[in-house]
């Protein structure tokens, strides 16, 4: 993947009108970044989740996408994305995490202790239990560009409706997003 990023940088330098890429920031050494995103189909009452776990070098430790067949609303699938991200990080043995979500509601709720009184209450209760098992964990909002790989995973599972987890090697359909994340210059 680093060869792809170097090639993109080289091609970008040769063109006019360069801009600094505003993508994902790397976590500090010793921590991992967990990006989560969700999609909701109101007509079908279903949703999907995309998760990417990366280390401080930008390497993918794990990725997943899950289809969720029965949901009440979009906030519910966003909370489900958080829970699935926590469970994936726990599964691969991470203990020092920075969570990122494009959904400000999820970020605000978790910063407030996960307290809510709506369709997501049970999910946030589960998230708080899992959250408390980590040694060092925080959550922050990120822009859409920084969350593109997780977004593409969530979008893809809405089409195939099959749950998948990838350890160490990400799926080929998000490689361009991952390469763009570590590309410094953009056109």
DSSP character string of 83-114: HHHHHHHHHTT--EEEEEES-HHHHHHHHTTS
Cβ atoms 35, 24 nearer than 8 A: yes
> In the prediction, which pLDDT does 7 show?
56
Mean pLDDT confidence for 175-181: 82
CA nearest neighbour of 84 among 135, 154, 149: 154
Two tokens, residue 79: 């909370």
Q: Which residue has the higher pLDDT, 146 or 128?
A: 128
> In the prediction, which pLDDT does 58 show?
85
Mean pLDDT for the chain overall: 85
Two tokens, residue 42: 């109101």
Residue 13 banded pLDDT, cuts 50, 70, 90: very low
Domain boundaries, the chain: 2-16+31-186
Whats the size of the chain, residue-wise?
A: 187
Q: Is 36 helix (H, G, I), strand (E, B) or coil?
A: strand
Percent of the chain whose pLDDT exceeds 70 = 83
* Terminal alpha carbon distance of the chain: 19
Phi, psi of 87 (to 5 degrees): -70, -35
2-16+31-186 has which CATH code?
3.30.420.10
> In the prediction, which pLDDT does 179 show?
81
Phi, psi of 11 (to 5 degrees): -65, -40
């Amino acid at each position: 993947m680093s060869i792809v990023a170097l090639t993109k940088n080289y091609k970008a330098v040769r063109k006019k009108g360069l801009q600094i890429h505003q993508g994902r920031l790397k976590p500090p050494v010793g921590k991992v970044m967990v990006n989560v995103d969700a999609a909701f189909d109101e007509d079908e009452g279903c949703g999907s989740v995309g998760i990417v776990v990366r280390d401080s070098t930008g390497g993918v430790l794990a990725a997943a996408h899950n289809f969720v067949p029965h949901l009440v609303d979009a906030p519910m699938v966003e909370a489900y994305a958080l829970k699935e991200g926590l469970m994936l990080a726990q599964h691969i043995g991470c203990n020092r995490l920075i969570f990122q979500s494009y959904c400000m509601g999820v970020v605000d709720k978790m910063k407030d202790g996960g307290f809510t009184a709506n369709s997501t209450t049970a999910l946030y209760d589960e998230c708080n239990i899992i959250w408390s098992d980590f040694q060092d964990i925080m959550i922050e909002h990120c822009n859409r560009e920084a969350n593109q790989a997780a977004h593409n995973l969530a979008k893809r599972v809405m089409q195939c409706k099959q749950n998948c987890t990838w350890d160490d090697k990400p799926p080929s359909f998000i490689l361009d997003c991952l390469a763009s994340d570590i590309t410094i210059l953009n056109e």
